[in-house]
Amino acid sequence: MKLPIIKHLTGFIEENDEDFVLESIETLEALTEVSSLKDEELDIIGELISNMYGAIEVQKLIKDGKSQKEALNTFMQRVLGAIDK
């Protein structure tokens, strides 16, 4: 996950709508079913999907009253905590 991408996508969600990102996720998930994709291509698609889900989670924290900075920090701490386990 890349924080600058999540931050950018969070701004996109604020300006537009979460549904655009959710539909993009669905499209990318459908692409992963293409049997001719190489592992490297699947990794890239997976990274994009992870960042999009991350942006949605950060946006939820912002809606709950956190500032963007607090929401990003909270989300990344949760991600890092999950990795450490």
| In the chain, % of residues over pLDDT 90 | 82
H helical segments located in 1-85: 3-15, 18-31, 39-63, 68-84
Which of 53, 50, 74 minimizes the C-alpha distance to 62?
Answer: 74
Sign of CA dihedral 59, 65, 68, 73: negative
pTM: 0.88
pLDDT digits (tens, 9 = 90+) for 13-52: 999 999 999 999 999 999 999 999 999 999 999 999 999 9
* Residue 26: per-residue pLDDT: 98
Residue 82: per-residue pLDDT: 74
Per-residue pLDDT, 10: 95
Q: Which residue has 């539909």 as its token pair?
A: 23
Tell me what pLDDT residue 22 has. 97
